[in-house]
Amino acid sequence: MKSVTTLSCLAAALFAALAFAPVATAAQSAHRDMFILAQNQSPQRSPDVPFVPTKEEVVEVMLKLGEVDRNDVVYDLGSGDGRLPITAAKKYGARGFGVDIDPNRVREARENAQRASVQDKVKFVQGDLFQTDIADATVVTLYLLPSVNMKLRPKLLAELKPGTKVVSHNYDMGDWKPEQTVNVGSHVVYVWTVPERGQASGDKK
């Protein structure tokens, strides 16, 4: 569906360019229209969660509870301005990966990584977190919504290596019970460790 929409947009731009421009400049017009489309990218579908950044003091607690160190690969699913992977790289020497559905967030995260001089340690991509390969992660951070966490839970349990830490800001995972719950002011941080396959409490048989 996503690629059909994208193709339709590109086809519309091409058609407009070819139909309304003089023949001699059709190719340039098509190129220009595609360039404008790329410049004004909007999310490929509506985000499941709006952008609300995690406060810095909560970021610190999340990375501490995730026991992040230089050997870790920290994935933030719905990475916003990139602050979790960037802090993990800057402060702990970890590698970081972020995926966000909103291209403007991805651009901002890449700029922030440059500013923090960790662009070689972090990668930000535009995409749907549900379609993202997460198998490389050793720590996963989340600031989503209860329903999105619940929809994501089977993917986390199926694709992450046993022993991977999952750290969620404010929202739990239903009957997959956290091993730690820490209050940070009015915020809550939950921590799980991915068990051997099929061993999570609440794991559907």
Ligand X SMILES: C[S@@+](CC[C@H](N)C(=O)[O-])C[C@H]1O[C@@H](n2cnc3c(N)ncnc32)[C@H](O)[C@@H]1O
Nearest-angstrom CA–CA distance, 84 and 121: 13
Least distance (Å) between residue 64 CB and ligand X: 15
Number of shown-chain residues binding ligand X (CB under 6 A): 23
| Of 9-17, 34-42, 77-85, 180-188: span binding ligand X (CB under 6 A) | 77-85
| Of 11-19, 98-106, 170-178, 190-198: span binding ligand X (CB under 6 A) | 98-106
Can residue 49 be called a binding residue for ligand X (CB under 6 A)? yes
The partner residues of 168 in beta bridges, in order of sequence, read: 142, 190
Least distance (Å) between residue 38 CB and ligand X: 18
How many beta carbons lie within 10 A of that of residue 195, not counting itself? 14
C-beta of 99 vs 173, nearer to ligand X: 99
Can residue 47 be called a binding residue for ligand X (CB under 6 A)? yes
- Look-up of token digits 């651009």: 107
| Of 28-36, 51-59, 159-167, 197-205: span binding ligand X (CB under 6 A) | 51-59
Nearest-angstrom CA–CA distance, 51 and 79: 9
C-beta of 72 vs 100, nearer to ligand X: 100
Instruction: Give the largest CA-CA distance in the chain.
Output: 66
Eight-state DSSP code of residue 25? G
| Of 10-18, 31-39, 94-102, 172-180: span binding ligand X (CB under 6 A) | 94-102
Can residue 61 be called a binding residue for ligand X (CB under 6 A)? no
Helices (H), 21-97: 26-39, 56-65, 83-92
How many beta carbons lie within 10 A of that of residue 153, not counting itself? 20
Helix, strand, coil % in the chain, rounded to nearest 5: 40, 20, 40
Least distance (Å) between residue 182 CB and ligand X: 16
Eight-state DSSP code of residue 21? S
Q: Which amino acid belongs to residue 89?
A: A
User: Contacting ligand X (CB under 6 A), which of 78, 85, 96, 178?
Assistant: 78
Restricted to residues 128-187, the positions that interact with ligand X (CB under 6 A) are 128-130, 143, 169
Q: Site residues (CB under 6 A) for ligand X?
A: 47-49, 51-54, 76, 78-80, 83-84, 99-102, 105, 128-130, 143, 169
